[in-house]
Amino acid sequence: MFGHLPEAIKQQVLYYLQNDNFRAAKEIYDTWLHDNTVDNIVKRETSQ
């Protein structure tokens, strides 16, 4: 399910899920997803 995530992010998400902290797991996942959308990647690459 989280195979597309970098290992460090995947471990954090799984840790919070295993400890019944869905809100923290979702926040980490959503932040990673937002930072890695096409629009944000293009903005990052063109601003360098």
Domain boundaries, the chain: 1-36
As given in the structure block, the two tokens for residue 37 are 């959308």
> How big, in percent rounded to 5, are the helix, strand and coil portions of the chain?
75, 0, 25
Helices (H) and strands (E) in the chain, counts: 3, 0
- pLDDT for 47 equals 81
- pLDDT for 36 equals 83
User: Which tens digits make up the pLDDT trace of 2-15?
Assistant: 778 899 999 999 99
Q: Cα separation of 20 and 37, whole Å?
A: 27
- pLDDT for 7 equals 93
User: Which tens digits make up the pLDDT trace of 1-48?
Assistant: 777 889 999 999 999 999 999 999 999 999 998 888 877 777 777 887
- pLDDT for 24 equals 97
The half-sphere exposure of 24 on its side-chain side, counting CA atoms within 13 A, is: 13
